[in-house]
Structure 1
Amino acid sequence: MLLSNPQRVLVLALIFRIIIIVFLDDIRWSIHARIQKHLDQYPFISPKAAQVGTANATFLMLARNSEIEDVLHTLRQIETSFNHRFHYPYVFLNDVQFTPEFIARTTSAISSSASYGVVPTEHWNHPPEIDEERLQRGMKELADKGVDYGGSLPYRNMCRFNSGFFYRHELLQNYRYYWRIEPEVDFFCQIHDDPFQFMQDNNKIYGFTITLYEFEATIPTLWQATKEFTQLYPELLAESNALDFLSDDKGATYNLCHFWSNFEIADMNFWRSDTYRKFFDFLDAKGGFYYERWGDAPVHSIAAALFAPKEQLHFFNEIGYRHGTLQHCPQGEVFTKGQCQCSRRRNFDYDGYSCKPRYDRLFEQH
């Protein structure tokens, strides 16, 4: 039976569509096969792209395979706001191997190279000297109190890893600076200047966007452990430190202020220093990462505030950022210059739970 002209068009369109689907499927499976071939030779490193940024730096993300959609959201945000201009590489870490799908979809989403690695077991699982009964008892107590992640062992593993081990990973050894990014966060503004280069040029060691109070139930003995350490090694305290950001009574007690470490741009040479390594090892021996629920945010914040001059800390006002329900939205000319897409009324900087006013006062003192 002869087909009419409209029928011919429909048939040809259908055939063309089938050809395209088959072609794209072949490409997808070809990529999948190449990635799978490399998975036996971890860490997997995707091909490099030309880097425009001049600092020795990388993005760092700790993520699970199941978080792929949230990871892609973050990558679209950071690429659109910043990295499509600078092409800094990425390092992705996981406590298990990344799937071919995770690798294929993330490498397709970025404008630069990426490396994919597994966290060594000894850097992730709790050390053998941890008392299992005391650990389970502590987790139950916090869970019964309704504390976020209070009953989670993986969360404790993550906090300990981020506190004392991430900078030791083989994929980070050739880098000095890192920008920590998390799945499912937003970057609201166009970032025209290079934060890594700023850190390098101005001798900064730690940069943040949000600062707030920690849940006291998660760190009841952290400050006591810190005081014990500084009494043993008073020479390690920086002369122009930021103790007044952490304490309202010259160090007798901790006011719970910390930098929110889900966003941090920092110098790994500080974490790699003898001072910080000694501090972390001292804390780790106390077992508080497991018996309580010490977070990497207060640990990083206390170390940066005490063992580095306050002038080496930096608030990245121009970087609009959201994690969960909290966000920093630049104000005034910075908002306009950055073409920011956030509500200035929802800026957390001077919320009652924010520690930003305390940070500001550090530099008002004479």
Structure 2
Amino acid sequence: MASLLRRTKRALGLPREPDVDAPREDAVVVMMARNSERQAAQRAIESFERHFNRWFQYPIVFLNHEPWDKRFIRALSRATSAETHFEVMSESDFGYPDGVDRDAARASMVRQKQLDWPHAGKEGYHHMCRFYSGKFYNMDILKKYKWYWRLDPDTEFFCSITYDPFVEMAKRGHVYGFTMAIWEVLSTVPSLFRHTADYKDAAGIPSSPLWKAMVDPSPLPYPLRSLTSLLGNRDRHGDAWNGCHYWSNFEIGDMDFFRGSQYQAYFDAMDRRGGFYFERWGDAAIHSLAVAMLLHPSQVHHFDDIGYRHDELWQCPANALGGQLPESEALGKRPWQPEVEGGIGCRCECKGYKERRNHPAVCLNKLTAPNTPGSQPWLPWT
């Protein structure tokens, strides 16, 4: 009977019951946190557990650059029904690369702070960006997994996720999934796009639809376009990165892509430039430019049905008509906001967040527009 109900829900295009007996992917949930973030991390894991992982129980790996406090381990182990691991990162993973002048890098961070750049002056932040950009995927504890789902402390979920995103991405040939797309603070990454574009040209990588979506052509006629190439965030032709990128605080990805020779060669080339320290290159920008350079739009998915907040940014979808599974024993009696024509959410409750998203949709529209007819956004229960 339960199987028949799931098939019926799919046929009607409605959310489905969590299938707790379905096969899982080789996947892991990852959170980097400091001991001082214990309460914020615990709230995030409890929200993740309540809205998803109590049904699917994917293992969680916690990462720290310092030895773990026993109170953190105890609190976070109790916050989830899933298997937990607490890993201390090595200095080679979470630290300066060989050949970097550390005194000069620290002096640059002081100047960045004087310029009031976001997160400026925080040495650990720069290490984190470099780690998530390239070192993360090859950690020994993660090598047995193909997929990862990144979570950060100070995160909450608004909707029940009753399907398995890893399974759905694998089934559809997706490589990278995100919830939000926002503008980069381009003044903090003045040379990143030029170095990336030069790398792309040298490697003979053609411009994909996603790459074109991230690039604004020079306003000058073609013979004169290169005259603007000396301006920031432009390639040698004078075309500019518009700054749109995937916000990496939520991302689900195929680690085989990030471990692959193409991505690692790009990361190594950027790492040698020193921009993780002498500028403020973030993993979100690195991931986004690599995805745009190396993937087709059909390999990237926007999880518009997942309600999510981190820091001061959020998205929360409207609930699907007739799709709230009111008799569900798995979901229980949790409340939800009203159902709306065209809604796609399941048991979404935005806790006073009145708008469906609080960030401008310009970048989201740019990065989802390149989809071809065969790669339109999907509802996970179809």
TM, length-normalised to structure 1: 0.81
Q: Distance in 2 between matches of 1:121 and 1:136?
A: 17
The 8 Å contact of residues 329 and 335 in structure 1, kept in 2 or not, is answered as no
Q: Aligned partners of 1:143 and 1:198: how far apart in 2?
A: 42
Amino acid at match of 2:74: A
Please tell me the root mean square deviation across aligned C-alpha atoms, in Å.
Answer: 2.1
What is the one-letter code of the residue matched to 1:130? V
1:110 lines up with 2:41 in the alignment: no
Q: Distance in 2 between matches of 1:114 and 1:273?
A: 27
Quote how far apart the aligned CAs of 1:131 are: 2.2
Task: Give the distance between the partners of 2:54 and 2:193, measured in 1 at CA.
Answer: 42
Q: What is the aligned partner in structure 1 of residue 240 from structure 2?
A: 253
The residue aligned with 1:281 is 268
Q: Partner of 2:292: helix, strand, or coil?
A: helix
| Residue 258 (structure 2) aligns with | 271
Q: Specify which structure has the bigger relative contact order, considering alpha-carbon pairs within 8 angstroms and separated by 6 or more residues.
A: 2
Q: Deviations over 1:214-268 (max 9, x none)?
A: 1112210000110111111014x4x744112211228621111110001000000
What is the rounded CA distance, in whole Å, between the counterparts of 1:163 and 1:180 in structure 2? Answer: 13
Distance in structure 2 (CA, Å) of the matches to 1:83 and 1:52: 14
Of 40, 46, 55, which aligns to 1:85? 55
Distance 1:183 1:148 in 2: 18
Which residue is 1:360 aligned to? 368
**Selected match of 1:202 from 157, 172, 194:** 172
**C-alpha displacement of 1:270:** 0.5
Residue 223 of structure 1 is aligned with which of 183, 193, 218? 193
Q: Which moved more, 1:243-252 or 1:220-229?
A: 243-252
CA offsets, 1:285-329, max 9 Å, x none? 000000001000000011011101111000001110001111011
Please tell me the residue identity of whatever aligns with 1:270. F
Amino acid at match of 1:248: D
Q: For 1:154 and 1:115, how far apart are their aligned partners in 2? A: 22
Change over 3 Å in CA distance of 1:240–1:147 after alignment to 2? closer
Provide closer, same or farther for how the CA distance between residues 337 and 132 of structure 1 changes in structure 2, counting only shifts above 3 A.
closer
Residue 223 of structure 2: aligned partner: none
- What is the Cα deviation at residue 51 of structure 1? 8.4
Q: Give the Cα–Cα distance (whole angstroms) in 2 for the partners of residues 356 and 264 of structure 1.
A: 15
| Unmatched 5+ stretches in structure 1 | 1-49
The worse-fitting range, judged by mean Cα deviation, of 242-251 and 294-303 is: 242-251
Q: Specify whether residues 294 and 72 from structure 1 end up closer, same or farther in structure 2 by C-alpha distance, changes over 3 A only.
A: same
Distance 2:141 2:272 in 1: 26
CA distance in 2, matches of 1:101, 1:202: 41
- In structure 2, what is the equivalent of residue 32 of structure 1? none
The 1:289–1:143 alpha-carbon spacing in structure 2 relative to 1, beyond 3 Å, is: same
Query: Who is 1:347 aligned against?
Result: 356
Residue in structure 1 matched with residue 46 of structure 2 by the alignment: 76
Matches for 1:21-32 after TM superposition, within 5 Å: none
Query: Which whole-Å deviations, capped at 9, do the CAs of 1:112-169 have from their partners, x for residues lacking one?
Result: 1011111111111112411234313321222112112111111000000000111111
Deviation at 1:364, TM superposition (A): 6.8
Point out where structure 2 has 5 or more consecutive residues left out of the alignment: 1-19, 219-234, 321-341, 375-382
Q: Quick one: distance in 2 between partners of 1:137 and 1:240? A: 38
**Is residue 2:230 matched to residue 1:243?**
no
8 Å Cα contact 2:182/2:360 also seen in 1: no
Q: Is the 8 A contact 1:206 1:312 kept in 2?
A: yes
d(CA) in 2 for partners of 1:337, 1:295:
31
For each residue in 1:62-103, what CA deviation from the matched residue of structure 2 results, as whole angstroms up to 9, or x when unmatched? 111111100110011000000111111101111112122111
Distance 1:354 1:137, change over 3 A: farther
Pairs aligned (count): 314
CA distance 1:60–1:354, change in 2 (3 Å): farther
- Work out the CA distance in 1 between the residues paired with 2:180 and 2:146: 23
Does the C-alpha gap of structure 1 residues 122 and 184 become closer, same or farther in structure 2, counting only changes over 3 Å? same
Residue 331 of structure 1 aligns to which amino acid in structure 2?
Answer: A
Q: 1:318 to 1:91 in 2, by over 3 A?
A: same
**Separation of aligned partners in 1, 2:22 and 2:87:** 24
SS in 1 for 2:63: strand
**2:183·2:245 contact (CA, 8 Å) conserved in 1?**
yes
**Percentage of pairs with the same residue:** 33
Aligned 8 A contact 1:258 1:302 in 2 = yes
Q: Which residue of 1 aligns with 2:35?
A: 65
Change in CA separation of 1:52 and 1:67 when aligned onto 2, cut-off 3 Å: farther
**Counterpart residue identity of residue 371, structure 2:** F
CA distance in structure 2 between the partners assigned to 1:257 and 1:286 by the alignment? 22
Q: Counterpart of 2:93 in 1: which secondary structure? A: helix
Equivalent positions of 1:67-216 (< 5 A) are: 67-216=37-186
Give 1 or 2 for the bigger CA radius of gyration.
Answer: 1
Code of the aligned partner of 2:213: F
